[in-house]
């Protein structure tokens, strides 16, 4: 649902190569009746599909439905599908990420239209909540910044280390703003620019803190500033952790290595990561260093893959009890 945008394009690219998937339909209000390759030229010759209008009755023959609609639209459609006993649903918008319906007017600018479904939605960070995804009916795919922040932040909290404060600065490429350009998101306006936006008030903050509360119920001081960067794909996040006492960098790095030893798509590196090395992949690369009572955790991932469509496919694999990495092992590009 909503297959004409960048998220839909990445989902299609990944699902067309997935050995357990057959794509039944791709919807788009604006593009209904148009061949998919006209919106996504990279898929020319890969899929004999045309966009269709949304038809909930047609979904009854499907096992899973991905929603890649703008924020606020899926919440009006998904309850009917759940009541009909239709397909498993994976929503890529922010509509079901937060458990507290009262938080939506502040962070997404509207009241929630389906608060009864919020408790059912499973928040999809497979590295921490993978068991909860098995057989889930409604999956809330995380935000791209939230994915980077949670992967960087949760290991020491889960290990019980005494983190006192957290500050996060993260930069995203122009594709993170979607396919429709605006004066602040159009790539020619960003190609040589670097600027902050939504300082201390980004909508991904509450979902990050919601995940933090699973492992640390006590409040954690958290400051977050997002930046617009002059590349197309990728997120580079710099997380500053202040501990109660001095920490050893090598020992601290082992906390992340232990946590992700069995994670198929998280790599803990000995050197700072580069967004170029994870572009178009489902990998997230981390590096940890420390001096005194301060640690810095760096995370690089592709905002459209691990930060969006790839994570959604990873969640789908777990929902249907497939090997978690099915269809997602493609390496990155170099150079």
Are β-strands 138-140 and 88-91 bridged in parallel, bridged antiparallel, or unpaired? parallel
- How far, rounded to the nearest angstrom, does the alpha carbon of residue 153 sit from its chain's CA centroid? 15
Exposure string over 89-122, b if 16+ CB within 10 A, otherwise e: bbbbbbbbbbbebebbeebbeeebbbeebbeebb
Report the C-alpha gap between 137 and 133 in whole angstroms: 9
> What is residue 172's three-state secondary structure?
strand
Report the C-alpha gap between 67 and 197 in whole angstroms: 27
Q: What are the φ/ψ torsions at residue 117 (nearest 5 degrees)? A: -85, -10
Closest by alpha carbon to 8, among 86, 85, 88, 90? 90
299 in catalytic set? no
Q: Which one of the listed residues 46, 62, 144, 299 is annotated catalytic?
A: 144
Closest by alpha carbon to 273, among 308, 255, 243, 298? 298
Report the C-alpha gap between 331 and 241 in whole angstroms: 31
Tokens matching residue 226: 């997002």
Report the C-alpha gap between 96 and 101 in whole angstroms: 9
Is there a cis peptide before residue 335, judged by omega within 30 degrees of 0? yes
Q: Where are the alpha helices (DSSP H) in the chain?
A: 6-16, 36-39, 78-83, 104-108, 126-133, 144-158, 187-190, 205-212, 249-259, 310-319
Residues annotated as part of the active site: 144
């Amino acid at each position: 649902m909503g297959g004409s945008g960048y998220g839909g394009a990445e989902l299609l690219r990944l699902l067309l190569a997935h050995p357990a998937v057959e794509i039944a339909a791709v919807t788009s209000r604006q593009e209904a009746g148009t061949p998919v390759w006209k919106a996504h030229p990279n898929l020319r010759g890969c899929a004999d599909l045309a966009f269709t209008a949304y038809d909930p009755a047609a979904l009854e023959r499907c096992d899973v439905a991905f929603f890649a609609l703008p924020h606020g639209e899926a919440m009006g459609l998904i309850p009917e599908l759940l009541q009909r006993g239709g397909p498993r649903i994976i929503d890529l918008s922010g509509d079901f990420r937060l458990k507290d319906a009262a938080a939506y007017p502040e962070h997404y600018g509207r009241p929630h239209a389906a608060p009864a479904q919020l408790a059912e939605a499973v928040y999809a960070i497979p590295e921490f909540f993978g068991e909860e995804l098995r057989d889930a009916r409604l999956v809330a795919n995380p935000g791209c910044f939230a994915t980077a922040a949670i992967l960087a932040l949760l290991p020491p909290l889960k290990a019980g280390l005494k983190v006192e404060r957290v500050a996060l600065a993260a930069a995203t490429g122009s594709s993170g703003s979607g396919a429709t350009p605006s004066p602040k998101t159009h790539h020619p306006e960003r190609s040589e620019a670097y600027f902050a936006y939504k300082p201390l008030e980004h909508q991904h903050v509450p979902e990050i803190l919601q995940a933090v509360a699973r492992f640390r119920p006590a409040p954690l001081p958290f400051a977050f500033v997002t930046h617009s960067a002059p590349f197309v794909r990728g997120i580079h996040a710099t997380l500053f952790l202040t501990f109660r006492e001095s920490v050893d960098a090598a020992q601290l790095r082992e906390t992340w290595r232990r946590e992700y030893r069995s994670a198929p798509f998280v790599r803990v590196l000995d050197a700072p990561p580069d967004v170029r090395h994870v572009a178009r992949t489902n990998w997230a690369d981390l590096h940890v260093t420390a001096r005194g009572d301060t640690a810095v955790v760096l995370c690089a991932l592709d905002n459209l893959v691990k930060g969006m469509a790839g994570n959604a496919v990873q969640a789908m694999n777990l929902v249907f009890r497939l090997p978690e990495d099915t269809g997602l092992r493609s390496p990155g590009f170099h150079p």
